[in-house]
Structure 1
């Protein structure tokens, strides 16, 4: 593991099916992760996540899917460019059923290939802390659709 990798593990009081839906359904993704989402959970699918505050959309390429346990996509660091080695990172979500619900582990790698590795890492480390907090809040609220 590279020292610039980001790893976050959280426990969510919700079934894995519900967590998976929040990671893969564009209507649910926008409840916790960005303002817009185009996403299909299929290897090779292209999509994007947009944030109004950041002024644009970040494109993604889905690399691996094992529903409902593993999702991997590459996402571009810059707005409106296709993600390729050197301008993107790889994000992996692993879901594990636990007695209280679901344990979600997020691992983001590839920062060392970026123009500003430490800056990108630090920004995304803070981002994941905030976004995963919003995911837990959303999934554990009455607003999230039942599984």
Structure 2
């Protein structure tokens, strides 16, 4: 399995959800944005989390209010290390926004098959948690 897909209906305007998903690395951690320190190094966005470590992200493509993708780079500070592509798609719905995430590229990770399987399984559950965090944050305003 090379990719993960998850989605959530959010009872909030698309502009509010867009503001959230355009924060590089908002999904890293246990749900509190205050748990992170962020900085930029050229085109890389660096997210430091005391519990989970340091991650590098590169914005790959944006289509305002509709789509943003990030290259989630493992092995920071090596920008050529393992990475997955994280894509967020937004669709305006009556009364809110549909937020979809697709993370792909697990098959190309420099890991054993068992490690890749664990990464997919862990991130599958992680995205369920993080989309609920996004829903809560966006609905609170």
- 1:1-147 alignment, distance < 5 Å: 3-25=1-23, 29=26, 32=32, 35-38=36-39, 45-54=43-52, 56-82=53-79, 84=80, 87-114=82-109, 115=111, 116-141=115-140, 144=141
Count of aligned residue pairs for this structure pair: 132
Runs ≥4 residues deviating over 4 A: 30-34
TM-score scaled to structure 2, two decimals? 0.81
CA-based RMSD of the aligned residues comes to 2.4
Counterparts in 2 of 1:87 and 1:25: CA distance versus 1, 3 Å: closer
| Structure having greater relative contact order (Cα 8 Å, sep ≥ 6) | 2
Consecutive unaligned residues in structure 2, runs of 5 or more: none
TM-score scaled to structure 1, two decimals? 0.78
Alpha-carbon distance in structure 2 between the residues aligned to 1:32 and 1:19: 16
